[in-house]
Copies of this chain bind each other. A is one copy, B any other.
Amino acid sequence: MSDNDLSIRIDLASGVRIGPGKIALLEAIRSAGSISGAARSIGMSYRKAWILVDEINHVLQRPAVATEAGGSGGGGATVTPVGETLINLYRAIQTGARRAVASEFQAIEKLMREEADAPE
């Protein structure tokens, strides 16, 4: 019944953080082909998605997301090779970390109350 999970966040010296939210946004842009479509698909506001994309692009040497000025339907957006590398490395870090600490993670789970037994 364990849906407990471990998430990873990269805290850059600049103060910018790259965690599950930003990576999910990049993956959604890859699927949707636009920032507006990506935002919609993960229930994020368009404004918030733009701010996060801008933050990601700004900390990288080369942008993770390339946007095209749009016609009537709004512009498209694609994940660049650098963006793909970032996604892949993040996912590798997540998988590697989960595997490395599986036993400690199980030990923490044992300290927790069972959902079914919890009051309220």
Chain A residues within CB distance 8 Å of chain B: 1-14, 18, 58-62, 82, 85-86, 89-90, 92-93, 96-97, 99-101, 104-105, 107-108, 111-113, 115, 118
Do residues B96 and A104 form an inter-chain contact, with CB atoms below 8 A?
yes
A8: which B residues are within 8 A, CB to CB?
Answer: 6-9, 97
CB contact between A100 and one of B3, B14, B90, B100 (< 8 Å): that residue: B100
Do residues B112 and A60 form an inter-chain contact, with CB atoms below 8 A?
yes
Q: Chain B's nearest CB lies how many Å from the CB of A61?
A: 5
How many copies of this chain sit in the oligomeric assembly?
2
CB contact between A14 and one of B7, B92, B97, B118 (< 8 Å): that residue: B118
A113: which B residues are within 8 A, CB to CB?
Answer: 58-61
